[in-house]
Amino acid sequence: MTKEYLEQLSIIMKQVTARQFNGVDIKCKHFFSGAAVYADGRICVSLTPAGFAIKLPEQLRGVLLKEEGAKKLRYFSKGPIKKEYVVLPNTMLTDMKVLRYWVNMAVEYALIHPTSVKKKRGGDSGDKAK
C-alpha cells in the first residue's frame, strides 16, 4: 500500500513543482504507512492514510485551518497531533494553483529549518569547544 502512496505523491509533486525549485533537491520517499517529500533532506509534505499533510509555520497553519475540511495531522486516532502539520482538504488537492501555493510554502518553510541532528546516547562525550 505504501507503494501506491509513493506513486501518487510523486505524480502530485511533478505537477506542482515542475521547474519551480531550481537548485533544491526534492525527493519522494517511503514514510511509515505512506510517502513523504523531502526538500534538501528536510521533510515538508506527507501522504498517508491520514491525508495529504504539509509542514507550515504557525501563522500559515492558522490560515489554512480556517479552510473547510483542513485539520491538524494525527497519524493514529489516539496518537499525538503533529503540531507543525495541516492535512489539506480534498478540494485543494484538485486545484493545482492552490496546491502549488501551499506546497511552495511547505518547501520554503522546510528549507529555513536545519536538518535534524540525532542526539548521542550516553551523555556528554567530553569534547567541548573552547
**Band of pLDDT at residue 126, cut at 50, 70 and 90:** very low
Whole-model pTM: value is: 0.83
Q: Check whether 119 has a pLDDT greater than 80.
A: no
Between CA 92 and CA 6, with CA 53 as vertex, the angle to 5 degrees is 100
Q: Hunting for cell 484538485 — which residue is that? A: 94
The more confidently predicted of residues 108 and 121 is 108
Residue closest to 61 by CA, chosen among 112, 106, 126, 15 = 106
CATH code for 2-111? 3.30.1460.30
**Band of pLDDT at residue 114, cut at 50, 70 and 90:** low
Q: Which residues is 106 bridged to in the sheet?
A: none
Task: Name the amino acid, one letter, at 124.
Answer: D
The domain limits of the chain are 2-111
Rounded CA separation 110/56 (Å) = 8
Yes or no: say if 84 and 56 are a contact pair by the CB < 8 Å rule.
yes
